[in-house]
Amino acid sequence: MAESILVIEKTVYKIIEVVAGNTDEIFAFVNDMKIKYPKLDNEKIAKKIANKIKRKCAIQGGLMAVPGAIPGPGSIIQIGVSLLDFSQLIKNQVYLIFSIGYCYGISDANTLKRVTLKCFSSTLDIDNVVDIKNPLGEKLVKNLSDKAIRFIIKKAQKALAKKFFFNLILKLIPFGIGIILGTISHWFNIRTFQFSSIQLFRELTQQGTSLPQTDIPE
């Protein structure tokens, strides 16, 4: 059982790593923001970064809903476009979490991945299955049986599927209504991750945990 848990944990973290992409680019983006706003503290910088990503995602959500505005052929195209849109939304959510973590001086990849998993578990309502309140705990799923692990994965898959189909249904509403709803939906999605990640990283720094500090180039 221990080996299966380790494999699952490594797989999940590898997926997060791939979705996040080049962390150096994320850290450079945060450093640029800190240089641009030198008088702002970490929390205010984090909010500015979140607002920037929210605007980007809102525009993306609206543009990706354009095919659905045309009833018939547009609806068919929208299904394919929505797959790309949803994957980009998840990528932006992970990008946001990593960026906010670096705002608080956290550049350790494992810590960023663990907090990312915590944020997604909260949003997908998996916290009621396993207690992962402390993102720096020894093991995320330490005492879970194989059956419990399969249940968690199944629950996560269902939650993601529901979010995808909800996102798709919004975009299939014709005559421009789907464009408006897609924009609003993406904005609120990122907003949810903004609040949860800021809270988690704030708690980590208040714990006095010795984590790598952010270096700002001279």
Please tell me the predicted confidence (pLDDT) of residue 147.
59
Contact criterion met (CB below 8 Å) for 170 and 182: yes
Q: Tell whether 107 is covered by a domain.
A: yes
Grade residue 218 by pLDDT with cuts at 50, 70 and 90. Answer: very low
Residue 73 is part of which domain span? 2-128+137-206
Question: Which tokens in the block code for residue 39?
Answer: 């008088």
Residue 112 has pLDDT above 60, yes or no: yes
Instruction: Let me know if residue 118 belongs to a domain.
Output: yes
In a domain, 32, yes or no: yes
SS (H, E, C) the chain: CHHHHHHHHHHHHHHHHHHHCCHHHHHHHHHHHHHHCCCCCHHHHHHHHHHHHHHHHHHHHHHCCCHHHCCCHHHHHHHHHHHHHHHHHHHHHHHHHHHHHHHCCCCCHHHHHHHHHHHHHHHCCCCCCCCCCCCCCCCCCCCCCHHHHHHHHHHHHHHHHHHHHHHHHHHCCCCCHHHHHHHHHHHHHHHHHHHHHHHHHHHHHHCCCCCCCCCCCC
Q: Based on the structure, what is the number of domains in the chain?
A: 1
Query: Considering the domain boundaries, does residue 217 fall inside one?
Result: no
Which of 98-112, 119-133, 150-164 bottoms out in mean pLDDT, i.e. has the lowest? 119-133
Cα–Cα dist 136/170, whole Å: 37
- pLDDT tens-digit series, residues 2-17: 455 555 666 777 788 8
> Considering the domain boundaries, does residue 212 fall inside one?
no
pLDDT at site 160: 80
Residue 69 has pLDDT above 50, yes or no: yes
Contact 129, 152 (CB under 8 A): yes
Q: pLDDT at position 149, please?
A: 57
With tokens 């797989």, the residue in question is 11
| Any domain includes 9 | yes
| Per-residue pLDDT at 49 | 92
d(CA 8, CA 136) in angstroms, rounded, equals: 17
User: Residue 29 falls within a domain, yes or no?
Assistant: yes
The answer to the question of residue 6 being in a domain is yes
When comparing pLDDT for 124 and 145, which is higher? 124
Give pLDDT, residue 206. Answer: 77
What pLDDT does residue 204 have? 82
Answer yes or no: are the C-beta atoms of 30 and 99 closer than 8 Å: yes
Task: Determine what percent of the chain is predicted with pLDDT higher than 90.
Answer: 22
Q: CB neighbours (10 Å) of residue 218?
A: 4
